[in-house]
A and B are shown apart, each in its own frame.
Chain A
Amino acid sequence: MTTVTVKLSRSNRIYRSSEAVEGKIVIKSPNSISHQAIRLSINGSVNLQVRGGSAGVIESFYGVIKPIQILKKTIEVRSSGRIPPGTTEIPFSVNLREPGESIAEKFYETFHGTNINIQYLLTADIPRGYLHKPLSATIEFIIESGRVDLPERPLPPEMVIFYITQDTQRHPLLPEIKTGGFRVTGKLATQCSLQDPLSGELTVEASSVPITSIDIHLLRVESIIVGERIVTETSLIQSTQIADGDVCRKMTLPIYVLLPRLLMCPSIFAGPFSVEFKVCITISFKSKLAKAQPKSDPTAPRLWMALERLPLELVRTKRDQFSC
């Protein structure tokens, strides 16, 4: 059984657009095989898809929208010949962008969302004529923005001060919460480097009804232009509890959320689509209703919950993670 695998030089598979993707093609074969050529193709694209959410029935029926090509490149790493039996390693190095080369789209960072997928694939193909099945292997690599056009760190700490009371809520609350009142204040960095944790702080200043939990939810907002409409889908990435139970009043709690990789990327505002992020702070109050309710979207407005949504702008900063 002959196998082909592609191994990248970096175990985390992260490359900048200005860099060359390096690695090796590893072919393991019990016997010698002949081939027409060994080719390597690199493919980067934005895949858009509409389903559920605010999309109408017809849009979701038609579902897939034509992907946006970012990069397509094929190089021949070896011309036709034979590969000896055993393990053969063929090293390669592909520049993603030749100096002076212009490409159709910007190198968006890799992102895996609900409706939007930005993906970079590297495929090795070994065609072997008509008689034999061609061999091939694909690996995804991850693109992070190059260094050149990035802002320096530290970012100016753009802290947003928020306060949440019974009066800031646009949805109905339980009467005891409404009349008893509560006040939660805090601040949050709404512009945030992807390498840094989301940080801020929060203080429960008053609450007559006991609190059961305070959570920080990371949300992504994916928008796609379909025809003349904009289809927007908001989905939950990660929830992080920062208060468990009825915490002490006037005690500052830290907000600290490490941003998950791949699931988040710098905010994008491209023509046909956009990827944005939001932070949703939820305060759950003690209520019998809460127990009866089955679990569902934790960021949906409820009678026993107070919410605050804040926009979150994610950027890639220059410094490499933990470079010293």
Chain B
Amino acid sequence: MTDLPKRTLDRLPLRWVLMDKIEAFASLVWPAKCHRTTGWLFLTPALLLVGILLIGLGYMLEYSLHELDLSSYRLKDAYTLGNYRYLLEQPVYLQVLLRTLLAASVVTLATLTLAFPYAYVMVRTSSSAWRKFLLVSLFLPFFIGQVVRAYGWLIILGKEGIINSALMSLGLPAMDLIYNYGAVVFGLVQYMLPFAVLLIVPAITAIGEDIELAAESLGANWLRAFWHVVLPMARPGLVGAGIVVFTLTMTDFAMPEILGGGTTDFIASAIYDSFFQLSNSGLGAALSIVLVTLGSILVAIVFRITGAGTLSIRQ
């Protein structure tokens, strides 16, 4: 088009001229022979952005190799593996880790148990109003955020909270519903529920209703049809949701802090405490590196077993 006589060009709408200029510019900086690498061009901003995390982790790795000097509260210059040795020698870190992993397993199981029926009903219901209601009830808490929801549970479960007030008005003794492991697990389950449902839903949608009906018409009762047909077919969604819930729980900070009453710390709190309460950034960095490594290994194992398809971008 740039070959048109100047007179014609003048009469073209401004937008066209502008577009032409942009195209010309684009072909100048990114000539057609580079088009094979356009994918990389598109990826670069994201790669750079995520690179910030890698740089930060590099700093962490460096910090973790220096011990704290208690007379100046600075990291010593000498390189050492002392922080890692300390982590191994102190049983408390293993215990906190085990507690975290146990909680993550329990939360994952409970969340999937609740999320699957929710997703199933939401997909299968014939009433669009009911479906919308379920969707909104799901999105609202998802959009409200963890801190505010934990705060709501404080009001409900506290010693003078709603449940205990109700119990006492019935003449029953008050219960310890908060500041314990159970409260943390419960808070986490309801926090994770929307994530899990949203990840399971596409998998259920993909299962044809006719397949299920066929199973039932062949005489399988609904539970067996569920067990042998629906659940296996929804496996990719369940695994994906399971991984997300497990890793999010494993690294959660707010729920144990707010609902745990100080004695049910998770590994994230231990990292926080090393950095801030003990002012020992070397130790905290070592703990971070260990957690990142463990998490990566776990995710890699799950990928191996289930095939990476579950979490990949290309579904």
Partners in one complex: no
